[in-house]
Amino acid sequence: MSDLYWLSEGQTERLRPYFPNSLGVPRVDDRRVLSGIVFVNCNGLRGRDAPRAYGPQKTLYNRWKRWSDTGVFARIMTGLAARASDNKTISIPSRDITA
């Protein structure tokens, strides 16, 4: 069994409306890259310590940096919280609690 974290296809589809449009060049697999970013953040790692299964370290870092600087992650959190009945608190569990 792998200790890697993977967003499900359903989770990825739920997040997709918050992704910025690609500017001509298709992005690398969003599910793989976002799963890697979540894994790195939840485990307190540096991007360069991410397992190879998530793709190139530079891709993880570039996506994290670009989407952080442009507010994509903030929009994702705000958008998901707005769907909740109590949208005052936003949290992400550090581990998949359903496993």
One-character DSSP codes across 18-54: GSPPP-SSPPS-HHHHHHHHHHHHHTT--GGGS-GGG
Report how far residue 22's alpha carbon sits from residue 44's, in angstroms, rounded to the nearest whole number. Answer: 29
The DSSP symbol for 72 reads: H
Report how far residue 79's alpha carbon sits from residue 33's, in angstroms, rounded to the nearest whole number. Answer: 20
Report how far residue 88's alpha carbon sits from residue 82's, in angstroms, rounded to the nearest whole number. Answer: 9
Q: How confident is the model at residue 98 (pLDDT cuts 50, 70, 90)?
A: very low
User: 39-96 pLDDT, tens per residue?
Assistant: 998 888 988 899 999 999 999 999 999 999 999 999 998 888 787 766 666 666 655 5
